[in-house]
């Protein structure tokens, strides 16, 4: 197996039983989307594929808010699998920068490869799959689905975003509805349009049924 295949096998084994929406199937979808975007945008395919495969290797949400856990774990795995340090560096940079950290926080990717992976990850947070993942993670984290008395909060800092314990429905306003405008690539922007519209229709229907409509 080549490097990408070895890393994919490791990640699949590690995340096959995960149940919060950050499982192997999520990573595999991001991997496929990132490859598609990379072809359209002319990015380095190997960096993009590796970045997609390890982007959630140690997400801060599952490591007490530690932003450094993911980059450290990604570097360790890649070196263990024999990757050259010149290849490891841009992949680790993607892992360190990929996460959304609040409505008021910009997480700009420096490289084209990072932009491709970030768009792919954000696309998987949109549409029908994004809706399912939102409620899967909400249940995992013990969050209510919806409380009309709890308004959405546009978090101004990463610290405020990490500390938030809002409802799953508020997450649409606090993050998911913002992602369409934060796509980096033309391919990402195009793919985000329909998924965004689907979510808007879902939330409108959810609120109508919630109120007895």
Q: Which domain holds residue 55?
A: 3-210
φ and ψ of 8, to 5 deg: -60, -45
- Which helix (H) or strand (E) segment holds residue 60: the answer is none
Instruction: Concatenate the DSSP letters of all residues of 107-147 into one string.
Output: ---SSHHHHHHHHHHHHTTSHHHHHHHHHHHHHHTT--S--
* C-beta atoms surrounding 193 within 10 Å: 12
Instruction: Report pLDDT digits (tens) over 126-174.
Output: 999 999 999 999 999 899 999 999 999 998 887 888 888 889 999 999 9
Q: Give the DSSP per-residue string, 63-110.
A: TTT-TTHHHHHHHHHHHHTT--HHHHHHHHHHHHH-S---TT-----S
Task: Tell me how crowded residue 108 is: count the other CB atoms within 10 A of its CB.
Answer: 10
| pLDDT above 70: residue 60 | no
pLDDT at 62: 63
Q: How many domains does the chain have?
A: 1
* Alpha-carbon dihedral sign for residues 26, 27, 32, 34: positive
Domain CATH number, residue 202: 1.10.3210.50
Q: How far is the CA of 125 from the CAs of 44, 129, 213, in angstroms? A: 24, 7, 27
**Average pLDDT for residues 112-119, to the nearest whole number?**
98
């Amino acid at each position: 197996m080549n490097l990408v295949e070895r890393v994919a096998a490791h990640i699949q084994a590690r995340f096959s039983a995960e149940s919060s929406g950050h499982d192997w199937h999520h990573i595999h979808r991001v991997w496929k989307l990132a490859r598609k975007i990379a072809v359209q945008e002319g990015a380095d395919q190997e960096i993009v594929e590796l970045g997609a495969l390890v982007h959630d290797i140690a997400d801060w949400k599952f490591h007490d808010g530690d932003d450094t856990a993911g980059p450290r774990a990604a570097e360790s795995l890649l070196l263990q699998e024999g990757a050259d340090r010149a290849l490891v560096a841009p992949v680790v940079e993607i892992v360190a920068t990929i996460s959304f950290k609040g409505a008021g926080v910009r997480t700009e990717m420096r490289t084209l490869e990072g932009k491709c992976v970030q768009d792919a990850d954000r696309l998987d947070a949109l549409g029908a799959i994004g809706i399912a993942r939102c409620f899967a993670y909400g249940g995992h984290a013990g969050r209510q689905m919806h409380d009309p008395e709890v308004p959405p909060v546009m978090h101004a800092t990463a610290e405020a975003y990490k500390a938030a314990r809002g409802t799953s429905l508020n997450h649409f306003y606090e993050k998911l509805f913002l992602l369409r405008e934060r796509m980096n690539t033309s391919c990402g922007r195009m793919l985000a349009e329909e998924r965004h519209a689907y979510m808007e229709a879902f939330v409108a229907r959810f609120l109508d049924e919630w109120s007895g409509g």
